[in-house]
Amino acid sequence: MGLGDKTDPKALRCAEHVAIIMDGNGRWATNRGWPRLVGHRKGAERVKEIVRCAPDIGIRWLTIYAFSTENWKRSTEEVLGLMSIFARYIEREADRLAAEGVRMRFIGDRSKLDAKLQRLMAGIETRTSGLTRLNLTVAINYGGRDEVARMVRSLAADAAAGKLDPATITDAMISARLDTADLPDPDLVIRTSGETRTSNFLPWQAAYAEYEFTETLWPDFTPAELAAIVARFGNRERRFGGVVSA
């Protein structure tokens, strides 16, 4: 099936929001005897291909896990290298993303990020804010528990100030205070590299998402494999805790 084919429109239409845990860059490089940063650079190139093909297979929202709150535990060399790759990606891809109608935004705690990177992030968010062909969200210094803790502190502060009755807090109010407040919940979460953990990624938002774990390392993850996974998603029965009538 070509990426532009619509042989199963229902399947392509269902997974409108796909979230990806991009794992395996370091192993990809190590397996070849290369430094881990080579794998991260190759992974960034793969992001370009996946972003380019996503709208053609029915994806309207694409959220990718680039750097977690736990990734600061890695070596200083790797962390600084990753931050450089992020900045370079934004600088080099800004024109193409805008030309292709891709809105780019970021989730996570930006306070620990380099000031230049923060400026680049804010700049491309502003530049692409009105675009609608694809909504690309990049999670940088993101952790699901951190996000929930920040949301709880926000609600607690309002309650302490008398602005909010804790008894009135609803699921919708919680969602509205998360980093993803203006995004739909993911339909499908994909993790590459053979690991079967969710690694603190979108725990609230992905409560009813479908999951797919692939052995493929991220630098080898192709648009064709993404299309195949999205097509399989269309055959899954999603009940959201209910029962489908016979």
Examine the pLDDT at 139 and tell me if it is beyond 50: yes
**136: which strand partners?**
62, 104
What pLDDT is attached to residue 7?
A: 41
Q: What is the mean pLDDT of residues 173-179?
A: 98
Q: How sure is the predictor about 182, in pLDDT bands with cuts at 50, 70 and 90?
A: very high
Residues designated as active site: 23, 71
Provide long-range contacts, Cβ within 8 A and 24+ apart, for 159-164: none
Domains detected in the chain = 12-143+186-233 (3.40.1180.10)
Burial of 110 (0-12, 13-18, 19+ CB in 10 A): middle
Residue 70, amino acid: E
- Report the pLDDT value the prediction gives residue 239, as an integer from 0 to 100: 54
Structure-token match 């291909």, residue found? 49
The sheet carrying 61-68 orders its strands as 102-107, 134-142, 61-68, 17-21, 188-191, 210-213
Amino acid (1-letter code) at residue 159: A
In this structure, the number of other CB atoms found within 10 A of the CB of residue 95 comes to 10
CA dist list (Å): 92 to 70, 87, 89: 27, 9, 5
Kindly state the percentage of the chain with pLDDT values over 70: 90
Q: How confident is the model at residue 8 (pLDDT cuts 50, 70, 90)?
A: very low
Predicted pLDDT at 235? 77
Mind listing the pLDDT tens digit for each residue in 199-212?
999 999 999 999 99
Q: Per-residue pLDDT tens for 80-110?
A: 999 999 999 999 999 999 999 999 999 999 9
Do residues 104 and 96 lie in contact, with contact meaning Cβ atoms separated by under 8 Å? no
117 has pLDDT over 80: yes
Q: Taking 90 as the threshold, does the pLDDT of residue 43 lie above it?
A: yes
